[in-house]
Structure 1
């Protein structure tokens, strides 16, 4: 009998990587979603400059999660990619467009037409990537049609009314992360604009959170059993999510700067943990657990040694980047 279950260790590492990506790149994508509604071009400059030093580092966690699945749970790729080709393509295309826009928008400073084009690329790429991520999460909740470890469904099975709702929910949630991040990093009329948007976005998230919570047990039998069966302690997590929502509302009313962002991160964290607990240990629902999807123990162990060596450097770089670029960003100042 093994002292350590390598599949569980890998599931925890990948789960941590995905959680870090959602928390850290969420406000990044949220700013892009908010871009068309910004008060003026100076505000857009500030919005982009708040994340310009860290946005590429944030996406390191997406690479970690994706590569981890390929290495430790190859069955995930066997099923997920055929099932989600279009959704994953849209997400990657959106991330590419916004990444290019980060660099080229500042080079088009004197060209009004060029700047409008890159504004569109940044906002459109952010919106598409966020929606695709939400739709992928909704598809995971619904489950996949498989036979002998192979996806046998259709190319558009990922696009249903439920996944459209989860996609829109992620977009609004990321926009909320964006406004609370902007409250922390900006000042003056830009910060006032972010304060003004936060409460309506919070109410929209609350409504969609409620609808998805009612709908989820109807589309997935395992979740229904877990929520209303012997694991009713799971309701602690949505209760903590609601507490964080109240924390955002209270902090905005009190004109706090750090607390709205931290409480919004808490909302995402507890919602994410609720999803994990609801689906554990099903990695490719409804038929395959983390042990069914795992690669050979020798492969998992070899790759684990490398990840455990690299992970502290990634965490250290992330912490250092945010520490160096802490503080307010003002018009006319920025990373570029």
Structure 2
């Protein structure tokens, strides 16, 4: 029985944390994308409409980041103790950027008409937070140096050309999510402008996906073995094919009347990229050496925390669905929630 718990509890917690991170990337990604696109809005009324499109959702979307980080600390304390020292700088900068972004979101409305500095803070906070999340992702993929269950690298080891590529790529990805969200959510010139920006962002995202897909197997031999060894290659070849098909569907959707189909195609690109990451690294939680079972807390601690998650997760999911359903529909120029 103990062996069963030791094996399955880390898997359950890995699925919970991976789901929370995935939901955060999708849900908070599109409202971070709104901030990234803020400098491209030509009029104040356009920026007002962009912010109003996410006003009911943005703070609730960040709930999933808390579950992901808190779950890592509770269920995988060894991984937490390694990852945080290795990625401390981008994590702290990301959190500060999210704070600036949140404050500017609220203060922008009460500071009118003298709110230009809050516009800058909103755009900068969104962009820096997205870039830092990409740095964190790149730092994990390229591996963290561990000896005797401790991080032994330097404070700046995360900063490499590969992690910078991931950072810029995630900024482009969030911009794509934000632009396709606006395409379906708002009406008027902002929706038309969003379609134009989405086309550019899509091309950039596909280029970054291709670059990372080529770079990782060339630079990291375990990832190359995972993807190109037999019989794995026979099962994994549909992933890049589906990515290309989703890109095609997204491009076609952007040339059709405004709707949410491009947004869902964009989500599909993110989910496939996320699946590719899981294929490349699982069961490693801290590449290249620490698995989910090695990093896991004792079963009693995992069970205790899992009981709380079992009760709270349906509540959070239900609240999220309720909010999105309540504020469904288009946001038109001149309308808003402030």
Shorter-chain TM-score range: over 0.9
Q: Which runs of 5+ in 1 are unaligned?
A: none
Residue 236 of structure 1 and its aligned partner are, at CA, apart by: 2.0
My pick for the range that moved more, 190-199 or 160-169, is 190-199
With the length of structure 1 as denominator, give the TM-score of the two structures: 0.97
Q: Deviations over 1:250-289 (max 9, x none)?
A: 1111234110001000100111011011100000111110
Look up the match of 2:127: 127
Cα RMSD for the two superposed structures: 1.1
Q: Which runs of 5+ in 2 are unaligned?
A: none
Distance 2:240 2:320 in 1: 29
Distance 1:124 1:228 in 2: 40
Distance 1:3 1:147 in 2: 28
Question: 1:141, 1:220 within 8 Å by CA — same for their partners in 2?
Answer: no
With the length of structure 2 as denominator, give the TM-score of the two structures: 0.96
Look up the match of 2:159: 159
Q: Residue 102 of structure 2: SS of its match in structure 1?
A: helix
- Tell me if 1:67 matches 2:79: no
Look up the match of 1:57: 60
Residue 3 of structure 1 and its aligned partner are, at CA, apart by: 5.0
Look up the match of 2:209: 209
Question: 1:244, 1:263 within 8 Å by CA — same for their partners in 2?
Answer: yes
Look up the match of 1:199: 199
Q: Deviations over 1:63-113 (max 9, x none)?
A: 0000000000001211111111110011101100000011100001122xx
Distance 1:54 1:258 in 2: 17
- Tell me if 1:170 matches 2:173: no
Question: 2:133, 2:170 within 8 Å by CA — same for their partners in 1?
Answer: yes
Look up the match of 2:109: 106
- Tell me if 1:33 matches 2:44: no
Residue 52 of structure 1 and its aligned partner are, at CA, apart by: 1.1
Distance 2:252 2:185 in 1: 19
My pick for the range that moved more, 256-265 or 2-11, is 2-11
Distance 2:297 2:109 in 1: 45
Look up the match of 1:317: 319
Residue 218 of structure 1 and its aligned partner are, at CA, apart by: 2.2
Residue 305 of structure 1 and its aligned partner are, at CA, apart by: 0.7
Q: How many pairs were matched up? A: 333
Question: 2:191, 2:258 within 8 Å by CA — same for their partners in 1?
Answer: no
Question: 1:180, 1:261 within 8 Å by CA — same for their partners in 2?
Answer: yes
Look up the match of 2:226: 226
Residue 154 of structure 1 and its aligned partner are, at CA, apart by: 0.8
Residue 15 of structure 1 and its aligned partner are, at CA, apart by: 0.5
Pick one of 220, 245, 249 that aligns with 1:243: 245
Look up the match of 1:148: 148
Distance 2:310 2:189 in 1: 45
Distance 1:225 1:291 in 2: 22
Q: Residue 283 of structure 1: SS of its match in structure 2?
A: strand
Residue 133 of structure 1 and its aligned partner are, at CA, apart by: 0.4
